[in-house]
Amino acid sequence: MSSANIAYFGYGSLVNLGSLQTPYISAHRVTLKGWNRIWMARPKEQGGFAQLDNLAFLSVVSAPEGQIDGMLITDHASSLTSLDERESLYTRVDIDQADLHHHDENLELEHQFLYVADKYPAPDETKIPRSYLDVVMQGYHHHFGIQGLQSFFDTTLNFDLSILEDRDNPVYPRATQLTNAEKALFNKFRPVK
């Protein structure tokens, strides 16, 4: 990989390549050791992805025995500013090549990172936006199948949070279109309350 390129691990909405807004180079299915996914409260941010109070989005926490599936995305270094703006409530953290298991091909990269959410107090009524969850689930279903969807639920903490049912009027700015089959399938994994 050229020094003019970057590589980052997507574990949430970034798994859904349709949500990417940069001209990425390639995307590869990987498993990352040493981390768990977690739903975390995000503060309201005008112009950002958390446009309402009390919303939860995905982050990761260090977990020596943990491992999570996701996408390793290679992109142009010129995209880094745009990515940092997209992940404005997150901090870039380097990850070790030895902690990545490549599902399809073994890429030898000099440097890769992921985004870890900055910590904020969690209000009592934090909710997961369905529109965001749909984006994530669509990505995992597309790249990892039914087993990948189940693994997503099994390896993500705080899934007992309530759901904000906003599928018909999305609060998440990169909401996706679902087929009727996807809606029915996704609702089985997290039934509508």
What pLDDT was estimated at residue 23?
Answer: 84
- The mean predicted confidence, pLDDT, of the chain is 87
Does residue 107 register a pLDDT over 60? yes
Number of domains making up the chain = 1
- Domain with 20 in it: 5-189
Does residue 193 register a pLDDT over 60? no
pLDDT digits (tens, 9 = 90+) for 123-144: 668 899 999 999 999 999 999 9
Q: Which residue has the higher pLDDT, 145 or 45?
A: 145
Return the structure tokens found at 149: 């969807």
What share of the chain in percent tops pLDDT 70?
88
Place of tokens 């529109």: 131
Q: How does residue 49 score in pLDDT terms, banded at 50, 70 and 90? A: low
Q: How does residue 48 score in pLDDT terms, banded at 50, 70 and 90? A: low
- Give the CATH number of the domain where residue 79 resides: 3.10.490.10
What pLDDT was estimated at residue 110?
Answer: 73
Q: Which residues contact 177 (CB under 8 A, 6 or more apart)?
A: none
Helix/strand/coil (H, E, C) string of the chain?
A: CCCCEEEEEECCHHHCHHHCCCCCCEEEEEEEEEEEEEEEEECCCCCCCCCCCCEEEEEEEEEEEEEEEEEEEEEEHHHHHHHHHHCCCEEEEEECHHHEEECCCCCCCCCEEEEEECCCCCCCCCEEEHHHHHHHHHHHHHHHHHHHHHHHHHCEECCCCEEECCCCCCCCCCCCCCCHHHHHHHHHHCCCC
